[in-house]
Structure 1
């Protein structure tokens, strides 16, 4: 049976946006006869990240998940190693390292924001710890992020930034994705700039760059061979098929060209929500995720916190009844069936659990029209007038 069609006035949570040249660039890629990746559009996208953000080497991947899995492979994570990860995150953050045999050590969120609580990290470090994987939730770094980096240096640990949501965001003026040794970005259709599916691994430690390219090329020296730097094209290391199609890169390039306009629009939408919902915040009926100290956010999402889980679920149902799709976000990984089945019940992480029970994300996408956004705002206000 086919699903029922959505009502014509339905407001989705997200809608992919065409800035203009995407289809023309895809046509150009097809005409050039180079579809398999690492062509002109791939190289343009990678150079954009290197030049705009100061990344030493950038490599496009088929997804943000693949970028994380490539990072775990690049760091030679092995069975018995421990990797510190916030519990409030998507499965890919942990799964990339579980695939290499690592034990995941979860850290709670802070009391005000879903990002990991830096103050709790030191107590989680053991002689088996190899890496810390902070997640820049909603395009913001954790408070006291410099302390996290100092802790990693003190214990000789790798830092892999999960910057899936963080393009254009900054911490103390420095682009997120350039603070750690490695960083993973995502270009999933829900992200600020999109390729439908896609990602990028940022290599900020120059000592990792040459091997990263080999892993990216399925364990071969293919890229170096075509640059004339290797006499033969050989299998020289492990690797996998991380390189995306040139068609994805062509689509992404159009979005990167328009990134300033995209960011301006998202900021406008975010500020409209914040201003309109301020009376509910003042009345103590809802909270809005705050801007972290020293962070310049990228307006990736508008997060609103209800007072308890039942209220959150009632609000989502009410909005859906009004033909509006708002959504919750992550369920803490330390409570997931996969983790519990293998490790048993973990210690409580109360802040991560609270965010999992109360956080709501409102529709925020490039083509959200003023009348649609006002409908969302009106519906939320109507819901709380009955509370």
Structure 2
């Protein structure tokens, strides 16, 4: 039995909505299916405005523009994240200030943020790793105290919440990813969620290449023109149609994934200490975006990955910490992030996707047990 790491979701209803696009004879962005996706997300999350984008990267770049990030401004974020979290602000020539993560949830360590704040700090970017919420009460309090923008990178966190509040509804801005590796997808796609009412109109300008096209569409002007720095961030109607079919079923899809996550936890906790398994606090609703185990060393992870591969089981690791990336040419070589470094060298992600069978999960767990028993 060959077990892949991921299988992109197909619900079976995608063609129905693609056929609508064909019938409407409109394929570019901001059409009827795009608006239905936006409305659904606004209702689901409670944000002031949802803007569908062609990727989460695009949404993060829009967040950098909306936050008025200028050269020399400092932006605090974790190093244990995907490159887009940082590149969006590097494009604005911000100074990235790396914060270490918590050992339990792998999220930014809220107790280490305040000491990093200076007079140049403009924003804090949090990443809800694996769909498990950061400690948002504490982080929002810090942002309110120091008058900083709060941006949620919720790429992995569709349908997740913190103390009953949907992730993506807490910061000034938030972003979602609909890449094919995510629970809900359209191949490539994303969304910018705007909660700060003062940013809503600018966000639409920025999405439309920096033009006031929305004023033209609303009949406020007889022609639209360039009013803001922006780019082409629109999701196409084809992407929106594919996505809408999945968004409607997202809660049942995630419930199925949570059942698989729980089964992994039940089997693996019989022989792996709980501190080496994922933690989802009771006040955090997660979506089972991933299941991982923590190995005792880099060498152990390498050996386990190879062992699983020999048995046709695909397991992967991430991330290489961004502060260590070759791009920086040693700029952050003196930065000490001990938890980030340890987690990046020892975390191993296991196969998890909608429809993974109990038999497949049992085989993965059996082989992991065999590996540790034979050591």
User: In the alignment, which of 179, 197, 207 is matched to residue 206 of structure 1?
Assistant: 197
1:281 aligns with 2:281: no
1:386 aligns with 2:367: no
- Where 1:167 maps in the other structure, the secondary structure is coil
For normalisation by structure 2, the TM-score amounts to: 0.97
RMSD over aligned CA atoms reads: 1.3
Q: What does residue range 1-387 of structure 1 map to in structure 2 within 5 Å? A: 9-143=1-135, 145-282=136-273, 287-292=276-281, 294-339=283-328, 341=329, 343-387=331-375
Structure 1 residues without counterparts, runs of 5 or longer: 1-8
Please state how far the C-alpha of 1:228 moved relative to its aligned partner: 2.0
Q: Write the deviation string for residues 291-331 of structure 1: whole angstroms up to 9, x where unpaired.
A: 13631111111121111111111111101110010111111
Out of 290-299 and 164-173, give the one that drifted further. Answer: 290-299
**Runs of 4+ off more than 3 Å:** none
Please state how far the C-alpha of 1:384 moved relative to its aligned partner: 1.1
Q: Distance in 2 between matches of 1:32 and 1:347?
A: 54
Q: Distance in 2 between matches of 1:111 and 1:11?
A: 29
Q: Distance in 2 between matches of 1:115 and 1:244?
A: 29
Please state how far the C-alpha of 1:18 moved relative to its aligned partner: 0.9
Q: Distance in 1 between matches of 2:107 and 2:23?
A: 44
- Where 1:188 maps in the other structure, the secondary structure is coil
Check whether the contact 2:159–2:251 (CA below 8 A) recurs between aligned residues: no
Count of residue pairs brought into register by the alignment: 375
Q: Distance in 2 between matches of 1:245 and 1:369?
A: 34
Please state how far the C-alpha of 1:370 moved relative to its aligned partner: 2.5
Check whether the contact 1:142–1:292 (CA below 8 A) recurs between aligned residues: no
Q: Distance in 1 between matches of 2:330 and 2:223?
A: 45
Out of 94-103 and 11-20, give the one that drifted further. Answer: 11-20
Change (3 A) 1:254 1:33: same
Check whether the contact 1:87–1:106 (CA below 8 A) recurs between aligned residues: yes
Check whether the contact 2:9–2:183 (CA below 8 A) recurs between aligned residues: no
Please state how far the C-alpha of 1:367 moved relative to its aligned partner: 2.5
Please state how far the C-alpha of 1:28 moved relative to its aligned partner: 1.7
Q: Distance in 2 between matches of 1:358 and 1:292?
A: 22
Corresponding position of 1:3: none
Q: Write the deviation string for residues 239-260 of structure 1: whole angstroms up to 9, x where unpaired.
A: 1000011000000000011112
Change (3 A) 1:98 1:342: farther
Q: Distance in 1 between matches of 2:332 and 2:142?
A: 29
Q: Write the deviation string for residues 142-165 of structure 1: whole angstroms up to 9, x where unpaired.
A: 23x211111111111000100000
For normalisation by structure 1, the TM-score amounts to: 0.94
Check whether the contact 2:324–2:330 (CA below 8 A) recurs between aligned residues: no
Please state how far the C-alpha of 1:75 moved relative to its aligned partner: 1.5
Q: Distance in 2 between matches of 1:115 and 1:309?
A: 20
Please state how far the C-alpha of 1:342 moved relative to its aligned partner: 5.4
Corresponding position of 1:6: none
Q: Write the deviation string for residues 94-138 of structure 1: whole angstroms up to 9, x where unpaired.
A: 110000100100000113221010011011101111000000000
Q: Write the deviation string for residues 153-209 of structure 1: whole angstroms up to 9, x where unpaired.
A: 111100010000011110010000111000010000111110111000000000000
